Amino acid sequence: MRYLILITLIWAFSFSFIGEVLAGKVDSYFAVLVRIGLASLVFLPFTKFRGVPTTLKIKIMLIGGVQIGFMYIFFYQSFLFLTVPEVILFTIFTPIYVTLLYDGLKGQFKPLYLISTGVAVLGAYIIRYQNVNSEFITGFLMVQGANICFALGQTAYKKVMESNTNIVQSDVFGYFHFGALIIGIVAFGLFANTDKLSPTLIQWGVLVWLGVVASGLGYFLWNKGACEVDAGVLAIMNNVHVPAGLIVNILIWGTPTNYLLLTLGSGVIAFSWWLHHLFMKHYHTT
């Protein structure tokens, strides 16, 4: 639990750094590649290349490719269509995906969760009901793509590690970043905008912080923490960063926001979160 709390505090700043310092100024595919590349370098000295089953290496690489490789691509693109508070709020769907995917990996399906998902979508609509255009819909779907990748990655990692309790996680976590790096290299080669590959000194500082601290240290401790709690606690912790990220963005950056709609929509989304965990209790007692 302590790992999840620590990384939540670190990640609270990531939303604003990406949205306010990088988005639209530095090519998103370049930013993703640099971030993952630095995280890979952090874990390279700790990675055990011998004595680790090849199937386990491949599984962890696939998980990393999804959880941060594809997730970052969706996530960074979403800032081109949404404000930082909207991106933060729309990540609130992640706990629903965590429980659905974790149950799916265990061969279970709980239809009541679809109700809480629908209520959360209503809350998102309220926040932008006067300006629901194609850009908003694109941004919203980008965030959901990122949410699903993040949820699938952490639940799959949790399940894999539950079957490999004899493995020291720091010995193999480098493969997580290596898998993501492959995705980052391919995406950069295919889609990068070469006119936005010259970050300023401040932007380089943000990229280094995101790569070394938020990614390198962050995802290792987050996934390690995910293995030490049950799926319900993990789902809850996926939403703690929402108020933390909003506070950082509004107080430090002062992003212009329609606070009435933000409050109403946030209330509905919070209700969907409460409803979701009510359903979780229902399933646990039946």
Stronger pLDDT, 220 or 118, i.e. the higher one = 220
**Model confidence over 154-191: pLDDT tens digits?**
888 888 988 888 888 889 989 999 999 999 999 999 99
pLDDT greater at residue 19 or residue 179: 179
Q: Which residue has the higher pLDDT, 42 or 93?
A: 42
56-71 tens-digit pLDDT:
999 999 999 999 999 9
pLDDT digits (tens, 9 = 90+) for 89-122: 788 777 778 777 877 777 777 777 677 767 766 7
- The angle that helices 218-226 and 169-191 make with each other, rounded to 10 degrees, is 120
Give pLDDT, residue 82: 87
| Stronger pLDDT, 42 or 272, i.e. the higher one | 42
Q: Is the pLDDT of residue 133 over 90?
A: no
Give the dihedral sign, CA 78/82/88/93.
Answer: negative
| Per-residue exposure over 67-90, b if at least 16 CB sit within 10 Å of its own CB, e if not | bbbbbbbbbbbbbebbbbbbbbbb
Q: What is the model's pLDDT at position 128?
A: 58
Mean predicted lDDT score pLDDT of the chain? 83
Mean pLDDT for 12-38 is 90
The whole-number pLDDT of residue 131 equals: 60
Confidence of residue 203 (pLDDT cuts 50, 70, 90): very high
